[in-house]
Amino acid sequence: MKFSGNRALIVGGSCDLAITLAQCMIKAGLFPILTYRSEKGLKYILKSLKTSKREYNALSLEFGNRDSMNSLFRQTDDNIDYMIDFVHGNFESLIASADVDRIYSYFAENVSFRAELVKKVARIMMKNKRGRLIYISSSAAARSNHGQGFYAAAKLASEAIYKNLGLELGGHGITTITLRPGYIDSGRGRRFIGTHTHEVLNKVPMKRALTKKEVAETILFYLSDSAAGFNATEISMDGGLTAGK
Amino acid sequence: MNILEEITEILAEILDIENHNISPETYLIRDLGVESIDLLELAVALNSIFKIDVNDDEIFLKKLRQYITEAEQQNKDILQYLAENLPFLSRKRLEEITADLEEGPTLKVEDLVSYVERQCYEN
């Protein structure tokens, strides 16, 4: 695969999927910049990426904290070719029983903060006249589920931000994709699948969860020049989960 | 190049027009037909070239009518209120703007120059 750019900001870089993607990127000659929100996250990145630090970077970003965002951009030297956005806070609650303060803070963190982040990255990319952003959404955005209303709403709002950006700046060489993975045998998904194995397998026509390697390699493909024609669109990667009734 | 010359170069490149079509008195939207995506590109270029923070709402006078409405609702002196919210514009320029509102968007190249001058000075 060929890549026009080199430096990739991976937001939410301490999750298993992000680390797998970073490993694929390093192999492909790209330079991942992984963000983490805690020392635990940083340690996990350092432990997982057993390679020369010169092949990647890890920077702090506390989602929802604007000072932290400004600090991040001071360290990236206005040099970002790709952004892959994995971050998403969890909020499981029935709509009618949710804590109101939590509703406000959840959307501030997961939608408003993200909008500012996307705006800033887009302006950096405009200076360089190129850029590709991939938002990692979820099949939950397309398929309503009890207790996942706020999660899905924030995902859909975020998808709309990315989609519009691709629409507005596609002509300036900046394009976007939303990837909606289904069940992944990794992180939060692995824990859920572990406790609901039969239920999950029954829902997915492929009868298995996705592997993190499959998803990471797919993201890498969508960053490549071969996938340049994809823009302002959502792509489902869920083994057929959302195709059926 | 001075600030006006830099801004002229940037605008000419974005709009694919000759430099001589641009002067301090040129209206961006009325005369040059600048669109919102052009303004965004202009803001990014000003940030990159002059190393200044660019607030799109301020530099492009996007809240001008909102400020006038607020001043009227609060029974405040309109020019004074505008001067407080758009401090990079001179009193003379604010008087011109308020007298010119009926004709359409009032943003001129000279306003961009004033904004950049102030931001550079504050840096």
What is the Cα gyration radius of chain B? 14
Q: A126, B47: Cβ pair inside 8 Å?
A: no
List strand residue ranges (DSSP E) for A3-122, in order. Answer: 7-11, 31-36, 57-60, 82-85
Top residue of B36, B40, B57 to mutate, by most chain A CBs within 10 Å, is B40
CATH number of the domain that residue B72 is part of = 1.10.1200.10
Buried/exposed code over A187-221 (b: 16+ C-beta within 10 A; e: otherwise):
eebeeebeeeeeebeebbeeeebbebebbbbbbbe
Give the number of other CB atoms < 10 A from CB of residue B81: 17
ipTM for the assembly: 0.84
Sole residue written with tokens 């899905």: A152
CA distances to A157, A191, A237, B122 from A142, rounded to whole Å, are 12, 21, 12, 48
Spell out the per-residue pLDDT of chain A, length 245, in tens. 999 999 999 999 999 999 999 999 999 999 999 999 999 999 999 999 987 778 999 999 999 999 999 999 999 988 999 999 999 899 999 999 999 999 999 999 999 999 999 999 999 999 999 999 999 999 888 888 899 999 999 999 999 999 999 999 999 999 999 999 999 988 767 777 777 778 778 888 998 899 999 999 999 999 999 999 999 999 999 999 988 87
Model pLDDT for residues A17-32, shown as the tens digit of each residue: 999 999 999 999 999 9
Model pLDDT for residues B19-60, shown as the tens digit of each residue: 999 999 999 999 999 999 999 999 999 999 999 999 999 999
How far does the CA of residue B54 sit from the closest CA of chain A (Å)? 11
Q: A126, B44: Cβ pair inside 8 Å?
A: yes
Q: B41, A168: Cβ pair inside 8 Å?
A: no
Domains along chain A with CATH numbers: 7-237 (3.40.50.720)
Pick from A24, A71, A25, A63: nearest CA to A41: A63
Query: B45 to chain A: nearest residue by CA?
Result: A127
Spell out which residues of chain B touch residue A123, defining contact as CB-CB under 8 Å. 43-44, 47
Tell me the C-alpha distance between B55 and A38, whole Å. Answer: 31
How far does the CA of residue A123 sit from the closest CA of chain B (Å)? 6
Query: A78 to chain B: nearest residue by CA?
Result: B48
Tell me the C-alpha distance between A163 and A135, whole Å. Answer: 10
Pick from A211, A192, A212, A214: nearest CA to A203: A192
Amino acid at B56: D
Tell me the C-alpha distance between B97 and B42, whole Å. Answer: 22
Chain B residues with a Cβ under 8 Å from any Cβ in chain A: 37, 40-41, 43-45, 47-48
What range does the domain containing B68 cover?
A: 3-122
Query: B36 to chain A: nearest residue by CA?
Result: A168
Size of interface A-B (CB pairs under 8 A): 15
Among B37, B44, B48, the residue with its CB nearest the CB of A168 is B37
DSSP calls for B45-73: HHHHHH-----HHHHTTTTHHHHHHHHHH
Instruction: Check whether B123 has a pLDDT greater than 80.
Output: no
Paired tokens of B103:
């004709």
Spell out which residues of chain A touch residue B48, defining contact as CB-CB under 8 Å. 78, 127
Q: Which residues share a beta bridge with A31?
A: A7
Sole residue written with tokens 């000419």: B12
Number of domains in chain B: 1
Tell me the C-alpha distance between A42 and A27, whole Å. Answer: 21
DSSP A211: P
Enumerate residues 6+ apart whose C-beta is below 8 A from A237: A179, A180, A181, A182, A210, A215, A218
